[in-house]
Amino acid sequence: MVTRKQRRKKNGGSRCNVASRRSTAETPPKVVDGQGLNPITRGTMSSTRFRKDKEIIAEYETQVKEIRNQLVEQFKCLEQQSESRIQLLQDLQEFFRRKAEIELEYSRSLEKLAERFSSKIRSSREHQQFKKDQHLLSSVNCWYLLLNQTRRESRDHATLSDIYTNNVIVRLAQISEDVIRLFKKSKDIGIQMHEELVKVTNELYTVMKTYHMYHTESISAESKLKDAEKQEEKQFSKSGDLNVNLLRHEDRQPRRSSVRKIEKMKEKRQAKYSENKLKCTKARNDYLLNLAATNAVVAKYYIHDVSDMIDCCDLGYHASLARTLRTYLSAEYNLETSRHEGLDILENAVDNLDSRSDKHKIMDMHNQVFCPPMRFEYLPHMGDEVCQVSAQQPVQTELLMRYHQLQSRLATLKIENEEVRKTLDATMQTLQDMLTVEDFDVSDAFQHSRSTESIKSVASETYMSKLNIAKRRANQQETEMFYFSKFKEYLNGSNLIIKLQAKHDLLKQTLGEGERAECGTTRGRRNARARIQVLP
């Protein structure tokens, strides 16, 4: 048979189980970092926490690994940039070295060209005459200035070659050395900064692990404390039932002993929980402080330190390269300035090309050749003393008739020759227009904005195309032939006029003197007759 005492134990136990189930159902689980602390889930809590810790650690390690990969790639990028700069500087050195050789070769070729023709001029007779009189023809002056300009360009290009070799290339070599040196120093500083980042991430990892450990212990202590509290609640509920049912005096002492044990266990677990909670709080604070410090260091590195490190690599690079290229620009601009100065002198000589002045200079230099000869004198034959045209009878009538014929002939020839002169002047003007056409502007050939094909097509349609040149040459030669035919006709006509005019003037003078002589003779005869008549 079941005794009353056994039934009470059975009913009390069932009531305790019901109370426990009610407490479990009514009390929500406490959440710490997303984990419930319900005693029902105590059995699976450690495995869940272990997976969470592994995920957190894996996520952190992945992030740190990405940062380290970035640091490695940063060095690779900076090293590639340094290598590309060194390659650029080497290409520039090779370019200017080859350009210096070309400039020097061009300078020597110009010097040989100028010396070839200068020696030819020095050995000529005309040069000695020009050097003595200092009366250079305008065309010869242009030729001399062209040779001087060639020598000037030869010296300038030799100077340019020297600047490239001893200035520009040396500067580029120094910049290349600076790039290598600065990259090494910047890399050393970068390695130091990377070590600092690794150090702070390792410290963060350590404090994070410490925080996780203390937090796990705190959760475990809290769970044990809750178990103790529940046991105490069960014990108190049992004690209440026993008091109600008036238990015997001898059963109370063991009950009080178990209650004191539970209270001691609870106090011990409460102390352990407070200790672990304090350690967890301190560890969390350290973790959060280190987390803020690590984020600040990482942010500073990526926002400021990386930029400063790149600036260290770039220190003076662009300024030095700019100074080097400005040296090149200065040399080229001064070359152009010197060239323009020489070309301005030559252009002034071209503007002073004057055919009339050259004609006078040639005639002055060869005065004996172009000086008019002495006049032909009358050479009497065997003592003949008559040296004038005789206009006395019986040749006077013939001379008078000849005089009138010359006068009429001269009038006709002058009219005809004047017409020829007008035609000659018009033809000369046409030739002048052909010869002075402004076809010397070749600026279109230097328009670099257009393609080579378009430049060639424009050149083929310009004034200097082969078709236009052939047409102009044919027109010019035809006009020249017409001009020379008219010029020949004009010369023949003018020569004939000059001859007839000289005869006309002499006959006019002779006939005039003959008339005066005849009048004087007639008057003398009349006076003689009058005297004869008076004498008788």
Distance CA(299)–CA(293), nearest Å, equals 10
Report yes or no: 445 and 459 within 8 Å, Cβ to Cβ.
yes
Q: Any residues with CB less than 8 A from the CB of 239 and at least 6 apart, and which?
A: 255, 259
Distance CA(230)–CA(274), nearest Å, equals 18
Q: Tell me whether residue 280 is exposed, middle or buried, using C-beta atoms within 10 angstroms of its C-beta: 0 to 12, 13 to 18, 19 or more.
A: buried
Distance CA(471)–CA(469), nearest Å, equals 5
Q: What's the pLDDT at 44?
A: 35
Q: Give the Cβ contact number of residue 532 at 10 Å.
A: 9
Report yes or no: 507 and 403 within 8 Å, Cβ to Cβ.
yes
**Dihedrals φ, ψ of 385, to 5°?**
-100, -5
Q: At what angle do helices 169-244 and 306-313 cross, to 10 degrees?
A: 170
Report yes or no: 39 and 223 within 8 Å, Cβ to Cβ.
yes
Report yes or no: 171 and 323 within 8 Å, Cβ to Cβ.
yes
Q: What's the pLDDT at 436?
A: 82
Q: Give the Cβ contact number of residue 276 at 10 Å.
A: 20
Distance of CA 245 to CAs 46, 111, 242, 257, Å? 43, 137, 5, 20
The radius of gyration computed from the CA coordinates of the chain, to the nearest angstrom, equals: 64
The two three-digit tokens of residue 315, written as one number? 């220190």
The two three-digit tokens of residue 493, written as one number? 């006509």
DSSP bridge pairs for 35: 32
Distance CA(173)–CA(166), nearest Å, equals 11
Report yes or no: 23 and 230 within 8 Å, Cβ to Cβ.
yes
Q: What's the pLDDT at 92?
A: 97
**pTM exceeding 0.95:** no
Q: What is the pLDDT along the chain (536 residues), one digit of tens a residue?
A: 444 444 444 444 444 343 333 333 333 333 333 333 333 333 334 444 445 678 888 888 888 999 999 899 989 999 999 999 999 999 999 999 999 999 999 999 999 999 999 888 877 766 555 555 566 788 888 999 999 999 999 999 999 999 999 999 999 999 999 999 999 999 999 999 999 999 999 999 999 889 889 988 888 888 888 887 887 777 777 665 555 454 445 555 555 677 778 778 878 888 888 898 899 999 999 999 999 999 999 999 999 999 999 999 888 999 999 999 999 999 999 999 999 999 999 999 999 988 888 888 888 877 888 888 888 888 888 878 777 887 777 888 888 899 999 999 999 999 999 999 999 999 999 988 888 877 777 777 777 765 555 555 554 455 567 787 888 889 889 999 999 999 999 999 999 999 999 989 988 888 886 555 555 444 444 443 434 333 33
